Amino acid sequence: MSLLLFTMFASHSVFILLFYGLVAIEAQMSTPSAAPIVASCASKSNTSCEDCLQNVTCLWCMPTKQCLDYPVKNILPPSSVCPLKEVRWGLCWVNFQILIITLSVLAGVFLIVLFVCCLCCCRRRGTRNDDDDDDVRQQQQTRARNSRQKQRREEMQLRHDKIRQKYGLTKDNPYSRMDDKK
């Protein structure tokens, strides 16, 4: 239960973080400006993080205060460009390294939860099939037990009838013993 609550909290936190990032980027893109943003990222160096990140293709390196083009060929910017914990992209207050770690942990938790759910569903389905098989098997055993009991009753009845006939105690005998009736 606590894992589920943690997963929900973490996924909501990441969703809110990404939502605010997208809203900020959308707001930056939708603000009408007199001149379109054509300047390269390098021209925004030694300014501020907010100025640099107005262009979504730029990343900001905190210690060097450089605005750099995002290395598109690499998924993560190499440490030769800037240490990963000092890189800002999208929003100035979002640490890129923590964002990557958070997203990977959430993806791992999501995959584990998905695996556990699939495992539970398969186990339930298997249990239901086993229960159905057990019910059918139990019904067959009950029928077999009832038929054996019926056969034993018939055999016992035949033995009793033979004994009654031997001693003249058959029911259709007119000279049968009379029960005490009061």
For residue 3, the model assigns a pLDDT of: 47
For residue 176, the model assigns a pLDDT of: 57
For residue 116, the model assigns a pLDDT of: 94
Question: Which position has the token pair 């389905």?
Answer: 125
Calculated CA dihedral for residues 102, 106, 112, 114, nearest 10 degrees: -170
For residue 82, the model assigns a pLDDT of: 86
Question: Which residues contact residue 83 at a Cβ distance below 8 angstroms, ignoring those fewer than 6 apart?
Answer: 63
Which of 72, 45, 40 has its CA nearest to residue 61?
A: 45
For residue 70, the model assigns a pLDDT of: 84
The predicted model scores a pTM of: 0.43
Which of 63, 64, 33, 65 has its CA nearest to residue 52?
A: 65
| pLDDT tens, residue order, the chain (182 aa) | 444 455 555 555 555 555 555 445 555 555 444 444 446 888 888 888 888 888 888 888 988 888 988 887 887 888 888 888 888 888 888 888 888 899 999 999 999 999 999 999 888 776 665 667 788 889 999 999 999 999 999 999 999 989 988 888 776 656 656 664 44
Which of 28, 26, 63, 59 has its CA nearest to residue 44?
A: 59
d(CA 114, CA 2): 16
Cβ contact 82:66 at 8 Å: yes
Which of 79, 41, 37, 35 has its CA nearest to residue 60?
A: 41
For residue 135, the model assigns a pLDDT of: 84
For residue 19, the model assigns a pLDDT of: 52
